[in-house]
Structure 1
Amino acid sequence: MTNKNLLVELFVEELPPKALKKLGDAFAGVLADQLKAQGLAAADAVVTPFASPRRLAAHVTAVAARAADKAVSQKLMPVSVGLDASGAPTPALLKRLAGLGADASAVAGLKRAPDGKAEALFFDSVQAGVDLAAGLQKALDEAIAKLPIPKVMSYQLETDCELPGWTSVNFVRPAHGLVALHGADVVPVKALGLKAGNATHGHRFEAAVDPVPLADADAYAATLAKDGAVIASFAERKAEIARQLAAAAAKVGGGCKPIDDDALLDEVTALVERPNVLTCQFETEFLDVPQECLILTMKANQKYFPLLDAAGKLTNQFLVVSNIRPDDASAVIGGNERVVRPRLADAKFFFDQDRKKTLESRVEGLGKVVYHNKLGTQGERVERVRAIARAIGQQLGGDVLAKSADTAARLAKTDLLTDMVGEFPELQGIMGGYYARHDGLSEDIAFAIEDHYKPRFAGDELPRTQTGVVVALADKLETLVGMFGIGNLPTGEKDPFALRRHALGVGRIIVDRDLPLELGKLISIAYETFAGKGLVPQKDMQGLLEVLCQERLVRLLESEGNNAGEIGAVLAVQGMPHWAVLRTRLEAVRAFAALPEAPALAAANKRIGNILKKSEGEGAEVNPALFVETAEKDLYAAMQATVPAANAKFDAGDYTASLQALAALRTPVDAFFDGVMVNADDPALKANRLGLLKSLHEAMNRVADLSRLAA
């Protein structure tokens, strides 16, 4: 059987750049999976995806011309249905065999095997392996059907038949070529109204020949690069762009580096086939505008790479990734410099105009902007955030922090009414900080306005100041309680208000900033600010919201390498005052779990918990005079010697030492369960022993619910 490498390419019009990498990976992945499923490619076949602005392709190693035949055993029907009392085949069996291409002569070769409670008949046959043409056709159809296409286009193709006419084709972009090569042989498959061939097309302007003939499947990438002036591999093109960007920045000197933005790099990689990085510049007067504005307009509108100096400050030079390599690039450079200038001028105009009005003067305008039809205006929302911020600020820092948090919360949303944020919504908060400084407000207030959306995403920085922390918490709590209160809960597929991100932000701020705040009380404070808004009852909403926040927090802690069982053990503790102690307690549990005594004590703790659940309401104060067995006397004595010290360490916040002190109880606990009958016939004896176990259970579970660590 002949095994050769396979190359399949779809040549199309320019594909959507933000989806290109995903489209390329999906096309190659599904195609290869289908070939493997049909036995045409081995499970360890190497799959190489290719994706450029005008092509999706896949190279698969060691693909067979025909799949191997395989034995198939098919269940026909129960024996009682297929054979009559004399053992002769029934009409039903003969009909089924005929459908499989067999006749009555096959009855003697049928196998009997148990099938549940009955016995069934099975027909063994050899299924011929699929040939490559049929198998690849199926794989190609499947790969096209399963492409994660953002939006389908419909276009017309002339029909491939004797009668003239047109047929409609639906695909992400109009397709103009199909290549399918098994080694050097063309595989006769069709797709999107196209027949497979052995030639593709290169760069629109710089290809050496057109079309570009391909000698065989393995020559694809090299031939396209040489004759087509195209780097077909997305990964190789991305690496080449990154190399050229670094080289161009080094040539500028001064420690300059292109801005680090992998999403922008991916998008530019999807826009060019033959990258050529050029250095451009703009007038230094534009550097008076906040660099975030200039960077955003160059990235978002022009796909340029701004250059930052060694201190991270924006320079007046930027890098362009061109798709052509002219001998004289001055026209390309000049054209890009002319294009960017009006963008920067607009940013400067917006910045100058916005500073003519103070943030304070914009507060009233928030009352005219609808936040949500069920929750009122942005002005009403700001008043709720202020109330929450004052309450949190008072708790964390008294009147001074409450006052500064109130000021920042009152002004935090005013930049939504500025021209700059109207043009670039991504700059909300950031521009508010700049305008606050221009208005003469303190750095503390400016930082709080700038940071109150943080963390914006997983791994983002937290607010830099205590005032910023308070306002950020208040803003997120107001959003969570309001949206949960009107029933806008996130689902598995949709979270349009980014409530999961807000919930994670609340958890991160409390845990990372070691804030002595209880989530339940924070939610209650926020809920009280929505008077008259018709929210669902607080008790119904609060439970769901606490679950979401805890789920997000668990995900965060797991991402940091914490064990899920240990996280659950800490969070299961009743009456834990706040999340600020989570990481410290997790460290203590991790240290305890490493002790040789830990498994036995965790198992004992679980056993004690089960006993106490079954005996709910029973148990009394421990009376040493009622002890009968030596084991219960020894356990009580060990607890008297150990628990006070463990409690002292716990109260001092040394959770690791507290848990490790309890490790000394392993031997007396084991002896207790080996030698003492808890459910004694004497009610007083039973109650005393339950009381002993209850006090032991409470002592062991102050840091974490140790039963969660049991295997």
Structure 2
Amino acid sequence: MTADHKNLLVELFVEELPPKALKKLGEAFAAVLADSLKSQGLAAAGAAVTAYASPRRLAVQVAGVAAKAADRAVQQKLMPVAVALTAEGQPTPALLKKLAAVGADAAVVPQLKRAMDGKAEALFLDSIVAGATLTEGLQKALDESLAKLPIPKVMTYQLADGWSDVKFVRPAHGLVALHGTAVLPVQALGLTAGRTTRGHRFEASVPELSIESADSYAAQLREQGAVIASFAERRAEILRQLGEAAAQQGLKPIEDEALLDEVTALVERPNVLSCQFETEFLAVPQECLILTMKANQKYFPLLDATAKLTHKFLVVSNIRPADASAVTGGNERVVRPRLSDAKFFFDQDRKKSLAERVPGLAKVVYHGKLGTQGERVERVRAIARAIAEQLGGVDLAAQVDQAAHLAKADLLTDMVGEFPELQGIMGGYYARHDGLSEAVADAIEDHYKPRFAGDELPRNEVGLVVALADKLETLVGLFGIGQLPTGDKDPFALRRHALGVVRMLSERAGTLELSRLLKAAVPAFGGLIQDPSEALAPFIYERLSGSLREQGYSAQEVDAVLALNPQRLADVGARLQAVRAFAALPEAAALAAANKRIGNILKKSEEPVQAQIKDALLAEPAEQHLAGALKITAQVADALFHNGEYAASLRELAALRGPVDAFFDGVMVNAEDPALRANRLGLLKSLHEAMNRVADLSRLAS
């Protein structure tokens, strides 16, 4: 590192930042500021950037920042030569005016360069632009970084003068900007940069820290300020302490990345402590206890080796007293009322069966155009019965109907009213308390699954049918009234519902056909909606397409298979594998190109083409040969296709390459004789259908 290249440190000291936003704020502050310095030539493109974010600070260190950016040569287009110069080569008034605007005069005209710009010759001015000084460049970078911060909610507060207002995420009280050891006098939010900051509210060894240099920032905060400035380091330290404290008791802390991020944003000097609550609360479903401890108190419940909740939990404190008993005792006292509430809700809810709650759903509005939750339940029941009938089985239909009838009843319970995240889960508990079968209870619990990408599917067939019916009711109903997602807005999570349908049909319900399912769901709505299948089916295929590409299939492979709108989504994976294997064959490229050519010929035909071949009209040897080869190949390929042997079916088609090439080399498709022309088109139509049973092979053509 040269003498004028030193590490740069910028810190903004503020009041406590919103914990759920801190990670993104820290990352954005560092990234935008560093990118701006790099774009101005003050830092190298590969310069190391270190982000810092704690409850009361956003900071960034950029390595090897120059005191001044290098001067750079710039070529500026002025105007076309025809406009800039007279016939005698003298500058026109337009050129002189343009030169004055860029700080030059007629003296530079002989040095102007001529070059083609499109179809016309233009004049260009070469000049040297002085590089920005670091103070200028950092001011620009800091302004840009603050302007682009992803602030969830802006505050307005007054500066010390009592007159000026500032808008920011939280009131700012300090600004540090150091280039090596030198202070850069940049300004932001009514503050002028210096080298002074503050550490931990209670445990810093000094009230104010004077940062010696950009390199000493993190160490000084840790040693003098009792603050781990790095979000990543603080998070790792919390994770280490959680694991250590749990292991000492032979237990395991619950894994929750969002909770870990939030707690990391709440403390500057983490100190994990062990606490416990009365074992009597363990009679309450553990999901309730875990949720109230995580959501309300930011605690980490401890699980045993079987993943069962214990009466112990971990707290991440922001202080390290010599005697931690007051801290642990206080947290144990605070959690007790929360657990008591959960126990009360659970006990009260069980005094009324799920079946007794169902009539109350008629008073709960679902959607202004689609009626109440009670009406929705009846629609889900009807769709679920239709699916069960497709799968077969009177017993299945009866269990499905019972589960669908009761699935939404827990929405009216106190527990779900307090914790909406537990809908379905509590329904399963209450169903078991009501003495319902395990299959029905599991189905009620599982009917929202999959709730998110990667979530597990319902455990049994009853749950699968009800979950499928529930998601189809949402999709068909909302598409049927024109309530489609737009851009990033998807208030009813229709994309997630569609992905859930895709997964269930792909992984578990292999015999069900998509179009038939969508059609079967429409009658449940009576006259409330228009049949949305025409718009909804492509929407579901789009979700399937995205999912398959994420799994590693190419866009070409996916397009080839989904172009046929396969109805059994469970077959799609095998078709994709078959297409991938076919594409590796030496004959694949020629056949794909021929298939594309055939498709274009058939599209241009003025009359409908039937896939029929009259042997008597096969005049040329090449078409006779192709017809004969197609008859044999198509028969074998079709049999393999119907057996689900897609790769073998496509492999059979490779034998057609020679006859197809010979046909196009020696036969004129659009013969003058209408009968010959129709027969040749029929031959191509037959070939086209035989080749595109598994996938549209023309999509593989480059």
Give TM-score, length-normalised by structure 2: 0.97
2:602 to 607, 612, 622: 612
Partner secondary structure for residue 231 of structure 1: coil
In 2, the alpha carbon distance for the partners of 1:228 and 1:88 equals 70
1:617, CA displacement in angstroms? 1.9
Which residue identity does 2:578 align to in structure 1? Answer: A
In 1, the alpha carbon distance for the partners of 2:632 and 2:201 equals 85
1:59-208 matches, within 5 Å, as: 59-159=61-161, 165-208=162-205
2:236 to 236, 239, 249: 239
* 2:611–2:686 CA contact under 8 A, matched in 1: no
* 2:515–2:567 CA contact under 8 A, matched in 1: no
Paired residue for 2:588? 598
2:443 to 441, 448, 457: 448
Which residue identity does 1:518 align to in structure 2? Answer: E
In 2, the alpha carbon distance for the partners of 1:48 and 1:351 equals 48
Paired residue for 2:298? 303
Q: What does the per-residue CA deviation read over 1:433-489, in whole Å, with 9 as the maximum and x for residues that have no partner?
A: 000000000011101110111111111111111111111111111111221222221
In 2, the alpha carbon distance for the partners of 1:54 and 1:577 equals 55
Paired residue for 1:359? 354
1:700 has 2:681 as partner: no
Which residue identity does 1:272 align to in structure 2? Answer: V
Paired residue for 1:162? none
1:371 has 2:366 as partner: yes
In 2, the alpha carbon distance for the partners of 1:117 and 1:701 equals 47
Of the structure 1 ranges 215-224 and 653-662, higher mean CA displacement relative to structure 2 is found in: 653-662
1:426 to 421, 429, 444: 421
1:552 has 2:543 as partner: yes
Of the structure 1 ranges 630-639 and 424-433, higher mean CA displacement relative to structure 2 is found in: 630-639
1:628, CA displacement in angstroms? 3.3
Question: Cα 1:230–1:466, aligned 2, differ >3 Å: closer, same or farther?
Answer: same
1:75, CA displacement in angstroms? 2.4
In 2, the alpha carbon distance for the partners of 1:191 and 1:29 equals 18
Unaligned runs of 5+ in 1: 160-164
Partner secondary structure for residue 401 of structure 2: helix
* 2:180–2:213 CA contact under 8 A, matched in 1: yes
Paired residue for 1:645? 636
* 1:371–1:377 CA contact under 8 A, matched in 2: yes
1:391-410 matches, within 5 Å, as: 391-410=386-405
* 2:284–2:342 CA contact under 8 A, matched in 1: yes
Partner secondary structure for residue 459 of structure 2: coil
In 2, the alpha carbon distance for the partners of 1:135 and 1:710 equals 51
1:654-669 matches, within 5 Å, as: 654-669=645-660
1:513, CA displacement in angstroms? 0.7
1:680 has 2:662 as partner: no
Q: What does the per-residue CA deviation read over 1:75-104, in whole Å, with 9 as the maximum and x for residues that have no partner?
A: 233334433444433344333323333333
Q: What does the per-residue CA deviation read over 1:261-314, in whole Å, with 9 as the maximum and x for residues that have no partner?
A: 111111111111111111111111111100000000000001111111111100
1:126, CA displacement in angstroms? 1.2
* 2:209–2:225 CA contact under 8 A, matched in 1: yes
Paired residue for 1:6? 8
Which residue identity does 2:457 align to in structure 1? Answer: L
1:639, CA displacement in angstroms? 2.3
Which residue identity does 2:523 align to in structure 1? Answer: E
Which residue identity does 1:583 align to in structure 2? Answer: G
1:223 has 2:220 as partner: yes
1:380, CA displacement in angstroms? 0.9
Paired residue for 1:543? 534
* 2:545–2:562 CA contact under 8 A, matched in 1: no
Question: Cα 1:603–1:96, aligned 2, differ >3 Å: closer, same or farther?
Answer: closer
Partner secondary structure for residue 158 of structure 1: coil
Which residue identity does 1:668 align to in structure 2? Answer: P
Which residue identity does 1:346 align to in structure 2? Answer: D
1:661, CA displacement in angstroms? 1.9
Question: Cα 1:101–1:645, aligned 2, differ >3 Å: closer, same or farther?
Answer: closer
Which residue identity does 1:598 align to in structure 2? Answer: A
1:569, CA displacement in angstroms? 1.4
1:564 has 2:559 as partner: no
In 1, the alpha carbon distance for the partners of 2:236 and 2:73 equals 47
Which residue identity does 2:583 align to in structure 1? Answer: A
1:516 to 507, 511, 521: 511
1:269 has 2:264 as partner: yes
1:521-540 matches, within 5 Å, as: 521-533=516-528, 535=529, 537-538=530-531
Q: What does the per-residue CA deviation read over 1:193-213, in whole Å, with 9 as the maximum and x for residues that have no partner?
A: 111111211111111122112
Q: What does the per-residue CA deviation read over 1:606-645, in whole Å, with 9 as the maximum and x for residues that have no partner?
A: 1221222222524563233333333223222322332222
Partner secondary structure for residue 7 of structure 1: strand
In 2, the alpha carbon distance for the partners of 1:689 and 1:709 equals 24
In 2, the alpha carbon distance for the partners of 1:78 and 1:492 equals 42
Of the structure 1 ranges 622-631 and 648-657, higher mean CA displacement relative to structure 2 is found in: 622-631
In 2, the alpha carbon distance for the partners of 1:646 and 1:117 equals 56
1:18-33 matches, within 5 Å, as: 18-33=20-35
In 1, the alpha carbon distance for the partners of 2:156 and 2:264 equals 26
Q: What does the per-residue CA deviation read over 1:361-399, in whole Å, with 9 as the maximum and x for residues that have no partner?
A: 001111111111221111111111111111111111232
Partner secondary structure for residue 393 of structure 2: helix
* 1:645–1:661 CA contact under 8 A, matched in 2: yes
* 1:585–1:704 CA contact under 8 A, matched in 2: yes
Which residue identity does 2:247 align to in structure 1? Answer: A
Partner secondary structure for residue 159 of structure 2: strand
Paired residue for 2:322? 327
Of the structure 1 ranges 630-639 and 68-77, higher mean CA displacement relative to structure 2 is found in: 630-639
Give TM-score, length-normalised by structure 1: 0.96
Of the structure 1 ranges 358-367 and 679-688, higher mean CA displacement relative to structure 2 is found in: 679-688
In 2, the alpha carbon distance for the partners of 1:620 and 1:392 equals 35
Q: What does the per-residue CA deviation read over 1:399-451, in whole Å, with 9 as the maximum and x for residues that have no partner?
A: 22222111111100000000000000000000000000000000111011101
Partner secondary structure for residue 580 of structure 2: helix
1:559, CA displacement in angstroms? 1.7
* 1:189–1:195 CA contact under 8 A, matched in 2: yes
Unaligned runs of 5+ in 2: none
In 2, the alpha carbon distance for the partners of 1:376 and 1:582 equals 36
* 2:514–2:567 CA contact under 8 A, matched in 1: no
* 2:609–2:685 CA contact under 8 A, matched in 1: no
Of the structure 1 ranges 576-585 and 179-188, higher mean CA displacement relative to structure 2 is found in: 576-585
In 1, the alpha carbon distance for the partners of 2:130 and 2:549 equals 49
Which residue identity does 1:236 align to in structure 2? Answer: E
1:123, CA displacement in angstroms? 2.3
In 2, the alpha carbon distance for the partners of 1:698 and 1:532 equals 39
Which residue identity does 1:210 align to in structure 2? Answer: P
In 2, the alpha carbon distance for the partners of 1:306 and 1:557 equals 37
Partner secondary structure for residue 311 of structure 1: coil
In 2, the alpha carbon distance for the partners of 1:258 and 1:638 equals 66
Paired residue for 2:457? 462
In 1, the alpha carbon distance for the partners of 2:587 and 2:221 equals 66
In 1, the alpha carbon distance for the partners of 2:400 and 2:272 equals 47
Partner secondary structure for residue 229 of structure 1: coil
